[in-house]
Amino acid sequence: MKPRERVTPPLSDPEPTRRTTGALAGGTRRRYWIILAILIALALGSTALTMSYGNPMPIGSDGYWTIARLRAKTLIVVLIVTGAQAIATISFQTVTHNRILTPSIMGFESLYRLVQTAAVFALGAAGITLVTGVWQFLFQIALMVTFATILYGWLFGGPRGNLHITLLVGIVIGGGLGAAATFLQRLLTPSEFDLLTARLIGSLAQAREEYLLPAAIIVALAGAALWGQSRTLNVLALGREPALNLGINHRRRTLLVLVLTAILMATSTALIGPMTFLGFLVAMLAYQLADTYDHRYLFPMAWFIGFIMMAGAHFILRNVFYAQGSVGVIIELVGGGFFLFYILRKGRL
């Protein structure tokens, strides 16, 4: 029997076909871009409606643009806040490996409430002016970021750091700050309490025009930094051991993401007040619509979803229900309901 000869392919044979679709397969990629295009169209539509609906002046006239510029301030605030909330929440959920957590659990909003309450408690109604102004705005951001940085560096940055312990301590400290704020509120007069309550509910009307430039710069820098860490976030989402095996300094990268998240959340909170469930709501919808774990695709999807939600809610409440100051309340109500639905459907934390 003649032995079977071994056939070796020539060196000129083409290499095996490799997948080059990246993070999204062909069908998923098309679906993603179609959904994103629809969201962009809805965002442009909500912008046009906000600028033009109810504007009594002819389109293109000086009077029209004067009114439009006043309304554009609200849209800029929405753009800044939704960008900060969306990017911060997705990044925070990635490093904590838990999609029901939001950066708010670290006590940012409780610290904001305590600062506002302490100012009114110490100076009465005049305390509102004490925390109003560009420098006061920047001080509140710096205070919240410093608080978070010390907490992260102390509990997570040490040699025996543990992220879960850090989160637990953050929840406890946030609860303590909230209790202190509640205690001071009990000592206020009814008129002072009414003034304070208006400051403690997230509202687009709270954002002063002089805050927009520094807030936009801070959010742009921190958001760009997290966008640059998208591939690292993709690896961190795999867990600590896989990240270490792939050459990622897990603790350092996680600490960097947490600090950048703190900057975004502090800016959003100082700009319009607490918005607990906005980030959670837009992140959950982005996960469902994007159908990918790649943060390069998740970030813009979540941003557009958040912009459409807030701009649309503001337009409807302002022109249909004549209750433009209730945007924060509605977002929190819908977000809270969605949170409960998600927990009950999943059956566990």
Q: What is the pLDDT of residues 293-311, one digit of tens each?
A: 899 999 999 999 999 999 8
Q: Which is nearest to 236 in space by CA: 90, 23, 94?
A: 94
In whole numbers, what is the pLDDT of the chain averaged over residues? 83
Taking 70 as the threshold, does the pLDDT of residue 53 lie above it?
Answer: yes
Q: Is the pLDDT of residue 163 over 80?
A: no
Contact criterion met (CB below 8 Å) for 306 and 73: no
The topology (CATH level 3) of 71-276 is ABC transporter involved in vitamin B12 uptake, BtuC (1.10.3470)
The structure tokens listed for 252 are: 């350092």
Q: Which two tokens stand for residue 339?
A: 């949170």
Distance CA 300, CA 304 (A): 6
Lowest mean pLDDT among 74-88, 147-161, 207-221: 147-161
In this structure, of 57-66, 92-101, 117-126, 138-147, the range with the lowest mean pLDDT score is 57-66
Q: Can you give the pLDDT at residue 2?
A: 53
pLDDT value of position 26: 66
Among candidates 229, 304, 321, 255, which has minimal Cα distance to 78? Answer: 304
The whole-model pTM stands at: 0.86
Helix axes 26-52, 295-319, angle to 10 degrees: 30
pLDDT digits (tens, 9 = 90+) for 58-90: 777 777 788 888 888 889 999 999 999 999 999
Judged against a pLDDT cut of 70, whether residue 6 lies above it is answered with no
Residue 167 is predicted with a pLDDT of: 81
Asked if the model's pLDDT at residue 257 lies above 90, the reply is: yes
- For the record, the structure tokens of 303 come out as 């941003």
**pLDDT attached to residue 220:** 96
In this structure, the chain runs to a length of 349
Q: Is the pLDDT of residue 135 over 80?
A: yes
Q: Where are the domains of the chain?
A: 71-276
Q: If you average pLDDT over residues 142-152, what whole number do you get?
A: 87
- The predicted structure's pLDDT at residue 10: 47
What is the structure's pLDDT at 307?
Answer: 94
Give first-to-last CA distance, the chain, whole Å. 68
